[in-house]
Amino acid sequence: MWEFPRTRYADSNGSEASEETEIAVNIGGVKHILYGDVLNQYPETRLAELVNRATGSTQDDLCALCDDYDDLKREFYFDRDPEAFKCILELYYYGEIHMKRGICPMRFMREMDYWGIDAEYLDECCISSLNEVQTELAEIAEKVKTILDDLEDDARVTRGQKCQAFLWKLMEKPESSLAARVIAVVSFASILLSSVVMCVGTIPELQVEDAQGNLVEHPALESIETACIIWFTLEYILRFVSSSNQLRFVFSFMNIIDFLAIMPFYVVLILTHLGTAIMELANVQQAVQALRIMRIARIFKLARHSAGLQTLTFALKSSLKELGLLLMYMSVGIFLFSALGYTLEQSHPETMFTSIPQSFWWAIITMTTVGYGDIYPKTTLGRCNAAVSFLCGVIAIALPIHPIINNFVIVYSKQRVLETAAKHEIELMALRLKEKAQECLEAGRTASAGSSSVWDSAAVSASRSNTYIPLLGDPTNVSKGQPAHECKNN
């Protein structure tokens, strides 16, 4: 049997003496003396179980709870992080745990699992940072799974499904092959060319007169426009056919933009040839002009091929609160200063402020420091009001700008980190497969991952089933010394 020292002490009245068990634990070279009454506040934890087994237990029982035990020093040894253990001890003394700055949240969670402490004892600030890290890791894992899905060649997939997947990669994943990159470049160039043609077609010197004497686009520009629309239509149809979920494809925001960029051309074509038989020529021309304006939606197609525009969209989406504050500040200021401007300018015989709604325009261009000069105050008090309005406008615009910029930097940095981390995980997985294949070859056995290329279909299939991926698998398997990959015999 093993006996541990007990500390004797008197109660508050000094009437009797009692004793409690104390244990010595060595965490990564740092020694701590812990007492039983403190640890037993949380009996479900590893330390409380250790102190309860300290009396009357064999060495094997004690070693099951620690990495090593020194009989001479009566000291338990744990090969754990000493800095993280200092945070763990806060639970027994303060009732909650705070993670120190610089400690990896996921690593700290594994420390808490080892010591038998539930995550509910973490403080709210630490839980929020942990949730952020878990979200990032989930996104990285999703990217890794996407890459593995692209590399995987499942024999159970039919030939039609393989063709559909190949067509989807060709149209949606420029990094998958050289042909996909060429298609992405052609699509990007078509968007730019179509946008330039739309702008150049409005120059009067480049327009020609039709039979009714109206100026229309040059035939050469119309031919270029038609060629671009044919490409957009073909691209949209191929992406629709290759989509695994066509209903979701149709109602996706970017695909709605693509449809709106294509649809006006065919509607104009129908109205031009068939509309005159249904409605008057003037109405047809008005409808055609209105639909031509919708061609500006094509510029939004650039977001599909530009990571920078996508990052800007995400940053603005995460800054909706700041943008809402900006609009609120500006709305209050516009209403206040336009009303003051109208009131103060009424005494001038040549006033330009005829009504408060008409003064809104003056307040907008003044608070945004544009100042067209089409409307301006003529009285002294009106000019003072204008000076105060543009000073307040500068302050109102400047206040939310900094958080919006910070959100953009955070989103941009996060996207870069996620891409780098996903590639790093794939490289680590390939390295593990290669090392295990070499070990299997040296042992004279056929490895499931042993081939001239690490990324053949068998290796990818094995990596998805038996290879440990830190972001996709259970980290406890590696910590317990389990192999990441098993060699298989024929």
Q: By C-alpha distance, which of 465, 471, 470, 462 is closest to 440?
A: 462
Compute the distance between CA of residue 126 and CA of residue 411 in angstroms, rounded to an integer: 21
Above 70 in pLDDT, residue 255? yes
Length of the chain: 490
Return mean pLDDT, the chain: 77
* Spatial CA neighbour of 404 closest among 299, 304, 305, 327: 327
For residues 414 and 405, give the distance between their C-alpha atoms in angstroms, rounded to a whole number.
14
What local confidence, expressed as pLDDT, does residue 336 receive?
A: 94
292 Cβ neighbours under 8 A, 6+ residues apart: 264, 268
Share above pLDDT 70 across residues of the chain, in percent, rounded to a whole number: 77
Nearest to 323 by CA among 308, 307, 336, 312: 312
The amino acid occupying position 230 is I
Between the CA of residue 457 and those of 33, 154, 452, 462, 487, what are the distances in Å?
55, 8, 12, 9, 16
Cα 404 from Cα 321, distance rounded (Å)? 10
Separation of alpha carbons 179 and 166, rounded Å? 11
Confidence of residue 125 (pLDDT cuts 50, 70, 90): confident
pLDDT of residue 337: 94
Which residue ranges form the domains of the chain, and what is each CATH number?
22-137 (3.30.710.10), 161-305 (1.20.120), 310-427 (1.10.287.70)
Residue 338 pLDDT? 93
Q: Which of 44-58, 77-91, 175-189, 268-282 has the lowest mean pLDDT?
A: 268-282
pLDDT tens per residue, range 17-30: 334 678 888 998 89
Q: How high is the pLDDT of residue 462?
A: 42
**pLDDT value of position 7:** 46
Confidence of residue 456 (pLDDT cuts 50, 70, 90): very low
Looking at residue 150, its pLDDT comes to 60
Instruction: Say which amino acid occupies 450.
Output: G
Of the candidate ranges 212-226, 282-296, 446-460, the one whose mean pLDDT is the lowest: 446-460
Query: How far is residue 110's CA from residue 451's CA, in Å, rounded to a whole number?
Result: 36
Using only the alpha carbons of the chain, give its radius of gyration: 35
Tokens read off for 459: 């290796």
The rounded distance, in Å, linking the Cα atoms of 154 and 108 is 38
SS (H, E, C) the chain: CCCCCEEEEECCCCCCEEEEEEEEEEECCEEEEEEHHHHCCCCCCHHHHHHHHCCCCCHHHHHCCCCEEECCCCEEEECCCHHHHHHHHHHHHHCCECCCCCCCHHHHHHHHHHCCCCHHHECHHHHHHHHHHHHHHHHHHHHHHHHHHHHCCCCCCCHHHHHHHHHHHHHHCHHHCHHHHHHHHHHHHHHHHHHHHHHHCCCHHHCEECCCCCEECCHHHHHHHHHHHHHHHHHHHHHHHHCCCHHHHHCCHHHHHHHHHHHHHHHHHHHHHHHHHCCCHHHHHHHHHHHHHHHHHHHHHHHHCCHHHHHHHHHHHHCHHHHHHHHHHHHHHHHHHHHHHHHHCCCCCCCCCCCHHHHHHHHHHHHCCCCCCCCCCCCHHHHHHHHHHHHHHHHHHHHHHHHHHHHHHHHHHHHHHHHHHHHHHHHHHHHHHHHHHHHHHHCCCCCCCCCCCCCCHHHHHHHHHHCCCCCCCCHHHHHCCCCCCCCCCC
At residue 243, the pLDDT reads 87
- Global model pTM greater than 0.85: no
Of all residues in the chain, what percent carry a pLDDT higher than 90? 12
254-258, 288-292, 344-348: lowest mean pLDDT where? 288-292
What's the rounded Cα separation, in Å, for the pair 27 and 87?
12
User: Residue 40 has which token pair?
Assistant: 């037993």
Taking alpha carbons only, the member of 285, 253, 250, 252 closest to residue 268 is 285
A 10 A CB-CB count for 220 gives 10
Nearest to 382 by CA among 344, 352, 335, 343: 344
